[in-house]
Amino acid sequence: MGRTRGDRRGSWDPSDDRVFSSVAETLARDAGPVEELARRAAESFAAPLAASTAAFLVTARLARRSAYALGVSCATPMVGAVMSVCAVGGSAALAGQAAREATSWASAGRGDARVGGRASWLFPSGFGRARADAPWDEREMTADAILGSLMYAALGRGLKTAMPSDVSHPGAMARKSLPANGAHYASEGQKRTLARWMARHGCHHCGTKVGAVIGDHMPPNKVAFGSSAAAEAFREGTQSLWTRAWQAVGGVPKQRFFPQCRGCSDLQSVAVRTGVKKLVMHGGGVKIGAVVAGCVAARHYAMARHPEEYAKWEAKLEELKFRFAP
Ligand SMILES: [Zn+2]
């Protein structure tokens, strides 16, 4: 890299961490005149970004479809969590490979970056190998999977959005909920709050933001009260004296309201009445997926186009590791 040191613009981080600013400089330089934009964009970050995003979203979608076909939801104990991690980690690993491939097409003719260096804790292959970013390097794929999963879990609603929803449990798209007053339906005020949440975050099962909102009891009334009749008796105040005394002393089952659409509510009625598991797909996790895919692509792009700066950034992560886990 033939650039001089010390030409930093702006005040943030003048000494190191040049990897992000270097990428930004390349992007600005590659943008160039408008008539050359398409060719230059193909040479720069646009191709790896697009390849990475497409790979992530398609893989994540396929994984969610597979879970749906297998009857695994975000509420499935153990298997649901394991499949979520595999879905997001696998999507991130494939996104990284797509980004690496697209970067290498765009960089064809530039010559491979050959950088010596030591292996690091987080990216064990480091720069000790001859070629900066080898295809299907399992250590780099593992790094993408781990970083991608952590980012996906931290940025959005958690890894659960990788799986479909089970209508008898809080959904994959669940974000906020209100305490419910026993089996009673949501009040007008509660419905207004739930409607606002549904417009912003969608039905907690399928993610739809349109249509009337329903205050969905979680756990469902039949589950919380033991039977639909018991829930109805509580609602109408016709429960037996014993039950009333028990509820006065022991309290009523703790339930919360989640915003739900009519379609999911109807499906839930069937599921609770018949005791048959009913799953619904949703279109969530796309924005978070695009952000994760973008960061994964940026890492591979930086590795290929700015290996020296990238190596420094990697070394800084190594230091952090020693700082937090001596
Ligand atoms: Zn729904």
Domain ranges of the chain: 18-164+285-324, 166-280
45 pLDDT band (50/70/90 cuts)? Answer: confident
What is the distance in A from the centroid of ligand 1 to the CA of 49?
Answer: 32
User: What does residue 179 show for φ and ψ, rounded to 5 degrees?
Assistant: -65, 135
Span 14-40, mean pLDDT? 65
Structure tokens of 231? 């829930």
Span 25-54, mean pLDDT? 74
What is the distance in A from the centroid of ligand 1 to the CA of 79?
Answer: 23
- Report d(CA 229, CA 172) in Å as an integer: 29
41 pLDDT band (50/70/90 cuts)? Answer: low
pLDDT > 80? residue 232: yes
Span 127-152, mean pLDDT? 81
Strand partners, 257: 178, 217
Lowest mean pLDDT among 19-28, 58-67, 109-118, 158-167: 109-118
What is the distance in A from the centroid of ligand 1 to the CA of 211?
Answer: 10
Best-predicted range by mean pLDDT among 5-14, 131-140, 288-297?
A: 288-297
Q: Are 296 and 95 in contact (CB under 8 A)?
A: yes
Span 191-208, mean pLDDT? 97
What is the distance in A from the centroid of ligand 1 to the CA of 173?
Answer: 9
Structure tokens of 157? 């609603």
What is the distance in A from the centroid of ligand 1 to the CA of 290?
Answer: 23
- Report d(CA 230, CA 290) in Å as an integer: 46
pLDDT > 70? residue 42: no
What is the distance in A from the centroid of ligand 1 to the CA of 208?
Answer: 6
10 pLDDT band (50/70/90 cuts)? Answer: very low
What is the distance in A from the centroid of ligand 1 to the CA of 149?
Answer: 26
pLDDT > 80? residue 73: yes
Q: Are 303 and 105 in contact (CB under 8 A)?
A: no
What is the distance in A from the centroid of ligand 1 to the CA of 74?
Answer: 15
Structure tokens of 48? 């790896």
Place of tokens 């379609």: 263
What is the distance in A from the centroid of ligand 1 to the CA of 218?
Answer: 14
At residue 33, the pLDDT reads 59
At residue 128, the pLDDT reads 42
At residue 16, the pLDDT reads 55
Dihedral (C-alpha) 294, 310, 303, 314: value to the nearest 10 degrees? -80
What is the distance in A from the centroid of ligand 1 to the CA of 260?
Answer: 5
What is the distance in A from the centroid of ligand 1 to the CA of 267?
Answer: 9
What is the distance in A from the centroid of ligand 1 to the CA of 262?
Answer: 7
What is the distance in A from the centroid of ligand 1 to the CA of 150?
Answer: 27
100-120 per-position pLDDT tens digit? 998 887 666 544 443 434 445
What is the distance in A from the centroid of ligand 1 to the CA of 207?
Answer: 6
pLDDT > 90? residue 182: no
Q: Which of 66, 97, 21, 19 is nearest to 293 (CA)?
A: 97
What is the distance in A from the centroid of ligand 1 to the CA of 213?
Answer: 9
- Report d(CA 16, CA 308) in Å as an integer: 11
Structure tokens of 276? 């048959």
Residues 6+ apart with CB under 8 A from 132: 112, 113, 114, 115, 303, 304, 307
% residues pLDDT > 90 (the chain): 56
What is the distance in A from the centroid of ligand 1 to the CA of 195?
Answer: 13
User: What does residue 279 show for φ and ψ, rounded to 5 degrees?
Assistant: -105, 150
At residue 26, the pLDDT reads 74
Lowest mean pLDDT among 6-10, 301-305, 319-323: 6-10
Span 197-219, mean pLDDT? 96
